[in-house]
Amino acid sequence: MLKYIHFKAKIIELLKYIGPGLLVTVGFIDPGNWASNFAAGSEFGYVLLWVVTLSTVMLIILQHNVAHLGIVTGLCLSEAANKYLPRNGSRFVLWSAIAASVSTSLAEVLGGAIALEMLFKVPIKLGAVLVTVFVFILICTNSYKKIERYIIAFVSLIGLSFIYELFLIDIDWGEAASACITPSIPQGSMLLIMSVVGAVVMPHNLFLHSEIIQSRALNKKDEREIERQLKYEFMDTILSMGIGWAINSAMVLLAAATFFKDAVVVDDLQQAQSLLYPLLGGNAAIVFAVALLLAGISSSITSGIAAGSIFAGMNNESYNIKDRSTREGIILSLGLALIVIFFINDPFKGLIISQAVLSLQLPITVFTQVKLTSSKVVMGKYANKPFTRILLYGITILVTLLNVLLIISSFADFSI
């Protein structure tokens, strides 16, 4: 009986720390991910599953590391960069992060607009305006805790349907398992590879996690409390990113099993509604569109919060929806994204390119993060150990090299 009571107390204590990771997970189960995953699976089958696996491993390491920054210092990544980097350096990093946030918001809002077109025949541009206004109102009128509840519910709705579908269709599990851990770069796949990387390891999520990890109001200078937070944060990150990996992999698997075998390349999200047909029959189109709309709205919220945090940090302030700097950051991200959407002729291609753009900014954010979390001036005794530094810089170099390959392949395609 005593063991049961002790176990129950541990679970209750763990639940106090669960949430920030799930909120971040929503950021990489967004319309941009949907487009990248469906395109990857339909065009290359199971071959690019390794990208989802590698990206998720990198994500766990990076999100865990940036959460340490928030817990130990009480500063988000933006505030820490503004405080500890030279002004010119911090401005370059943070303005590039704002640009990445705009690219993220573009994908989220565009995905929601596509869903409104599927459901109600609303023109894409009008739908984008409606989604933007609705998201801004949600951010400005809800507390973190309320938003988290909505978003966790959205993730559950979106994810369970795709995962369950795997048991209703024919999957070559042996080939899929091999593809998850065997790197392969087929000709013409670099844009999709970097789109998947950028869709999973999203720069704005690193800023977001370091901000919302503080929303528990548990940050104290008591070392025992810090140690407890560090331990449970890792469990939260592993659980949340693991869920994200399962959902993203399921999307690639479904697209491979449904479209690749028939040589059908997905170039429109509406095509992908057939993925839910084995489970939902004639209701598949409606449920798919509703799930896409919820994904667009929920991930737009996280993108907006991240932009508010980045912009507030630039002005040496913490995220506070009542403050001018925070609201200006949110408006900047959502507003510029909306403007760009008005110039996009191919929404699906716009989603793919927006995610690849994120990968181009990623090394800047990661290098900044590693520099800060490796500094004893910033982190004290919690600064990165040598092995952790090597691992983190290795991730930065890997992403940079992949970006170089993307640029080279783009020039090669252009010259042809």
pTM of the model: 0.87
Least confident of 299-308, 373-382, 404-413: 404-413
pLDDT over 50 (residue 416) = no
pLDDT band at 141 (very low <50, low <70, confident <90, very high): confident
What per-residue confidence (pLDDT) applies to 217? 47
AA identity, residue 39: A
Higher pLDDT, 306 or 227: 306
Task: Give 396: exposed, middle or buried? Use CB within 10 Å, 0-12, 13-18, 19+.
Answer: buried
Which contiguous run of DSSP H or E holds residue 222? none
Average pLDDT, the chain: 84
Q: Concatenated DSSP letters for 38-82?
A: HHHHHHHTTTTHHHHHHHHHHHHHHHHHHHHHHHHHS--HHHHHH
Does residue 16 have a pLDDT over 70?
Answer: no
Tokens of 209: 């996690």
- For residue 100, the model assigns a pLDDT of 93
pLDDT, residue 355, reads: 86
Cα separations (Å) of 236 from 23, 67, 241?
11, 11, 8
pLDDT of 155 > 80? The answer is no
Q: What is the mean pLDDT of residues 196-205?
A: 86
176, pLDDT greater than 90? yes
Tell me what pLDDT residue 397 has.
Answer: 93
Say whether pLDDT at 12 is over 60. no
Instruction: Flag whether pLDDT at 153 surpasses 50.
Output: yes
As a whole-number percent, the residues of the chain with pLDDT over 90 amount to 46
Q: Which two tokens stand for residue 216?
A: 């528990």
Say yes or no to pLDDT of 142 above 90: no
Q: Residue 229: is its pLDDT beyond 90?
A: no
Q: Tell me, what's the pLDDT at 9? A: 44
Q: What number is the average pLDDT over the span 61-80?
A: 91
Lowest-confidence pick of 23-32, 63-72, 88-97: 23-32
pLDDT classification of 198: cutoffs 50, 70, 90: confident
- The stretch 150-162 carries a mean pLDDT of 69
Q: What is the rounded average pLDDT of the residues 369-392? A: 95
More confident residue, 33 or 124: 124
Contacts of 218 (CB under 8 A, 6+ apart): 16, 17, 225, 229
Question: How much is the pLDDT for 349?
Answer: 87
Work out the pLDDT band at 45, boundaries 50, 70, 90: very high
Per CATH, the number for 45-415 is 1.20.1740.10
117 vs 121: CA distance, rounded Å? 4
Judge whether residue 68 has pLDDT over 70: yes
Residue 170 three-state SS:
coil
Among 115-129, 142-156, 392-406, name the one with the lowest average pLDDT: 142-156
pLDDT at 149: 67
Question: Does residue 231 register a pLDDT over 90?
Answer: no
Q: What is the pLDDT of residue 210?
A: 84
* Minimum mean pLDDT range among 18-32, 124-138, 360-374: 18-32
Q: Which of 66, 79, 77 is nearest to 318 (CA)?
A: 79
How far is the C-alpha of 28 from the C-alpha of 31, rounded, in Å?
A: 9
Give the least confident one: 36-40, 104-108, 318-322, 408-412. 408-412
- 297-351 pLDDT tens trace: 888 888 999 999 999 999 989 898 989 999 999 999 999 999 999 999 998 888 8
- pLDDT of 415 strictly over 50: no
Q: What is the pLDDT of residue 296?
A: 87
Report the pLDDT value the prediction gives residue 156, as an integer from 0 to 100.
67
